[in-house]
A and B are shown apart, each in its own frame.
Chain A
Amino acid sequence: MSLHLVIKKTVLCLFIAFAFGLNAQNNEGLKEAIESDVSITDSKQRNVAYSIGYHNPIPTGDNFIGNGLEGNGGLNFKVQIYVYKQFFVGGSLGASYFDVKDPSVVGDYKKTRIAEQFLFLGYEFIPTENFRVGLTASVFGEARYKNQKSDNVYQIDTALLNSYGVYLTYEISREFMIYLDYAFRVDKTRINVPTALEDTFRKGAFSQIGIGLKFSFIGKDFISLF
Chain B
Amino acid sequence: MKRHPHFFLILIPLLILSCEVRFAPDVRVQVKGMIISDTGEPISDAQISVYTRRSSGGYINAPGPLGTDDYLLGRNYSNQDGTFEVTSLFDRDEDFSIVVFNENNYTNYSYTTSTVDYVPENLTFDLETLTLDRVATIDYNFTRTSVEGNTFQYIFNFRDTACLEYYVEGVVDSGLSYCYQNRTLNRTLNDNRPDIAGRFSSPYATVVDFTYSINEQDPITQTFTIDQDNYEFTFSY
Contacts and interface: CB of A to CB of B under 8 A. Distances in A.
Interface in A116-166: 147, 149-150, 152-158
Nearest to A159: B26
B203 interface: no
13 contacts: A103-B74, A104-B76, A106-B28, A109-B89, A149-B72, A153-B20, A153-B21, A154-B21, A154-B22, A157-B25, A192-B26, A193-B123, A197-B28
B122 A195 contact: yes
B124 interface: yes
Given A104-B86, A108-B72, A197 B30 contact: yes
Contacts of B89: 107-109, 147, 155
Given A104-B86, A104-B87, A194-B123, A153 B26 contact: no
Contacts of B71: 153
B25 A155 contact: yes
Contacts of A156: 22, 25-26
B26 A190 contact: yes
A106 B20 CA distance: 21
B88 interface: yes
B94 interface: no
Contact of B26 (A154, A158, A196, A197): A158
Contact of A104 (B19, B25, B69, B75): B75
9 closest residue pairs by CB, A with B: A155-B23, A107-B89, A156-B25, A194-B123, A153-B21, A194-B124, A194-B30, A104-B76, A192-B27
Interface residues of B, number: 31
Interface of A is mostly: mixed
Contacts of A152: 16, 19-21
B70 A149 contact: yes
Interface residues of A, number: 28
Contacts of B30: 193-194, 196-197
Interface string A145-189: 001011011111110000000000000000000000000000001
Interface in B68-88: 69-76, 85-88
A149 B75 CA distance: 13
B164 to A, nearest CB: 22
